[in-house]
C-alpha cells in the first residue's frame, strides 16, 4: 500500500507538534512520565517567585510552580498553584516555604512535613494531603535580609560609638589647650630625663652586683649552710619529740592537773575571803545602825549632846570661859605665878630638898 505524500506530511506535523508540546512541558519542569498532584498555597509576598520555579522536597526537585495570581476578593493574598509528584507523600499540615537557592535572587519552594504522626517516612492516612488541598505558606529570609538584620545593630552601635568618639575628641580638644600641650611636652621631657637617670642607676647597680658577686655567692653559701643546719636541728627535734612523745604527753597532763588544782584552790580561797568579808560588813552595818538608832533616841553621850539643848549651851559657855581664861593668862602671866602649882624649882633646889629629906630620915 502506497502512502501518499499528504499523509506523510500530516503525520510528520502531528509528531512535530507532540514533540513541541512535550518539550515545552519538559522545559517548564513538568515530569512527562509520572502523574502529579495539584496543591494550592497562599502567600503574603512571593519574594520574586515566578511560574515554573522548582519545588523541592529534601533537596530533590519534585515539581514546579504552575501559576501565581492575585485572589480577586483579597488583593493582599497571592495564590500559588504547584504541581508535585504523587510519589511524594505530603500531610495536610505541610509547609511550602519560599527560599533562595543562590546568592542572587533565584527562588524556589521547599516542602516540609510537620505532622505529629510522621514515623518512618509514613504519614497516617487520615493526615495525608490530597490533590486540590491547600498547604501552609511561609517565607524564609534571604541572605541579604539576614545580613542586613545582623549588620543593622552593629551599624547602630558603630554610629553611637562614632558620636561618642566625636564628643570625646571635642572635650579633649577643649581640655588640651596650648598651655596643657606645653605642660605635657615638658612632662614628657622630664620623664625622659628620669628614664635616663634610671638607666644610669641600673648600670651602676649592675656594676656593683658584678663587683660583689663573690660576696653574694659567699652569703648564699652561708645561707645554704644555715638552712642545712636548721634542717638537721629540725630533724633532731622531731626525733626527740617522736621518742619522748609519751613523756611529753604525761608532763602536759600533770601540768593540766596542777593548773586545775591551783584554779580550784584559788577559787575556794577567793570564795572564803569574800564570804568572811561580806559577813564582817553585815555585822559592822548592823552595829552602825544600832549606834545611829541610840543617837537618834538621845541615848549615850553623843545622843544626849545632840538632843539636850541645855547641855549644849553649858558646854558652849564653859568653852567660852576657858577661852577667856587662856587669853587672860596670856596677857597677865605674873598674876598666876604665885601659885605653887605652877612654881618652877631649879635643879639645885631639888638637890637641896633631897639632902634635907635624907638628914631627917637619919635623925629619926
Confidence of residue 297 (pLDDT cuts 50, 70, 90): confident
Confidence of residue 345 (pLDDT cuts 50, 70, 90): low
Name the percent of the chain in helix, strand, coil, to the closest 5. 65, 15, 20
Angle between helices 213-243 and 178-211 (to 10 degrees): 70
Confidence of residue 342 (pLDDT cuts 50, 70, 90): very low
* Residues 12-25 pLDDT 10s: 888 888 787 767 66
pLDDT at 40 over 90: yes
pLDDT at 8 over 90: no
CA–CA dist 335, 114 (Å, integer): 152
pLDDT at 27 over 50: yes
Instruction: Output the pLDDT for position 294.
Output: 74
Handedness of CA 349, 355, 361, 363 (dihedral sign): negative
Give the percent of the chain with pLDDT over 70. 79
Average pLDDT of the residues in 274-284: 79
- Give the DSSP per-residue string, 37-54: EEEEEEES--TT--TT-E
Instruction: Output the pLDDT for position 304.
Output: 65
Instruction: Output the pLDDT for position 68.
Output: 92
CA–CA dist 50, 162 (Å, integer): 43
Please check whether residue 80 is in contact with residue 71, taking contact to mean a CB–CB distance below 8 angstroms.
no
Tell which wins on pLDDT, 237 or 174: 237
Q: Write down the mean pLDDT value for the chain.
A: 78
* Residues 79-111 pLDDT 10s: 999 999 988 888 888 899 998 887 666 889 999
- Give the DSSP per-residue string, 134-197: EEEEEEPPPHHHHHHHHHHHHHHHHHHHHHHHHHHHHHHHHHS-HHHHHHHHHHHHHHHHHHHH
The pTM (predicted TM-score) of the whole model is 0.37
Confidence of residue 30 (pLDDT cuts 50, 70, 90): low
| Tally of CB atoms within 10 A around 364 | 5
Instruction: Output the pLDDT for position 269.
Output: 61
What nine digits make up the cell of 321?
570661859
Instruction: Output the pLDDT for position 150.
Output: 75
Tell which wins on pLDDT, 39 or 284: 39
Average pLDDT of the residues in 7-34: 71
The answer to which of 118-122, 140-144, 279-283 has the lowest mean pLDDT is: 118-122
pLDDT at 275 over 70: yes
Most confident option among 18-22, 129-133, 332-336: 129-133
Instruction: Output the pLDDT for position 84.
Output: 92
Please state the φ and ψ torsions of residue 14, each to the nearest 5 degrees: -60, -45
Instruction: Output the pLDDT for position 341.
Output: 43
CA–CA dist 9, 7 (Å, integer): 5
Amino acid at each position: 500500500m502506497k502512502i501518499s505524500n499528504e499523509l506523510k506530511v500530516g503525520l510528520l506535523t502531528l509528531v512535530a507538534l507532540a514533540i513541541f508540546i512535550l518539550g515545552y512541558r519538559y522545559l517548564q519542569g513538568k515530569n512527562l512520565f509520572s502523574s502529579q498532584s495539584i496543591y494550592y498555597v497562599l502567600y503574603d509576598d512571593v519574594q520574586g517567585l515566578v511560574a515554573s520555579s522548582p519545588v523541592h522536597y529534601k533537596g530533590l526537585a519534585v515539581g514546579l510552580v504552575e501559576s501565581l495570581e492575585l485572589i480577586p476578593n483579597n488583593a493582599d493574598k497571592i495564590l500559588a498553584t504547584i504541581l508535585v509528584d504523587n510519589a511524594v507523600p505530603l500531610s495536610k499540615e505541610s509547609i511550602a516555604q519560599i527560599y533562595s537557592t543562590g546568592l542572587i535572587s533565584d527562588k524556589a519552594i521547599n516542602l516540609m512535613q510537620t505532622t505529629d504522626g510522621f514515623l518512618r517516612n509514613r504519614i497516617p492516612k487520615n493526615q495525608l494531603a490530597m490533590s486540590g488541598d491547600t498547604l501552609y505558606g511561609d517565607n524564609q529570609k534571604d541572605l541579604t535580609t539576614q545580613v542586613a538584620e545582623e549588620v543593622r545593630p552593629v551599624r547602630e552601635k558603630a554610629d553611637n560609638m562614632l558620636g561618642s568618639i566625636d564628643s570625646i575628641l571635642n572635650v579633649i580638644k577643649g581640655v588640651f589647650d596650648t598651655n596643657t600641650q606645653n605642660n605635657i611636652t615638658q612632662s614628657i621631657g622630664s620623664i625622659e630625663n628620669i628614664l635616663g637617670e634610671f638607666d644610669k642607676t641600673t648600670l651602676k647597680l649592675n656594676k656593683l652586683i658584678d663587683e660583689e658577686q663573690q660576696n653574694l655567692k659567699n652569703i648564699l653559701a652561708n645561707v645554704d649552710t644555715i638552712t642545712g643546719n636548721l634542717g638537721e636541728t629540725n630533724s633532731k627535734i622531731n626525733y626527740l619529740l617522736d621518742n619522748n612523745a609519751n613523756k611529753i604527753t604525761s608532763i602536759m597532763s600533770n601540768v593540766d592537773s596542777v593548773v586545775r588544782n591551783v584554779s580550784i584552790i584559788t577559787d575556794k580561797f577567793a570564795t572564803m575571803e569574800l564570804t568572811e568579808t561580806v559577813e564582817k560588813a553585815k555585822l559592822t552595818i548592823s552595829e552602825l545602825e544600832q549606834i545611829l538608832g541610840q543617837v537618834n533616841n538621845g541615848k549615850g553621850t553623843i545622843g544626849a549632846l545632840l538632843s539636850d539643848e541645855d547641855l549644849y549651851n553649858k558646854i558652849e559657855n564653859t568653852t567660852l570661859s576657858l577661852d577667856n581664861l587662856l587669853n587672860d593668862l596670856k596677857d597677865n602671866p605674873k598674876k598666876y605665878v604665885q601659885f605653887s602649882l605652877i612654881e618652877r624649882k631649879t635643879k639645885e633646889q631639888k638637890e637641896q630638898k633631897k639632902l634635907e629629906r635624907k638628914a631627917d630620915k637619919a635623925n629619926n
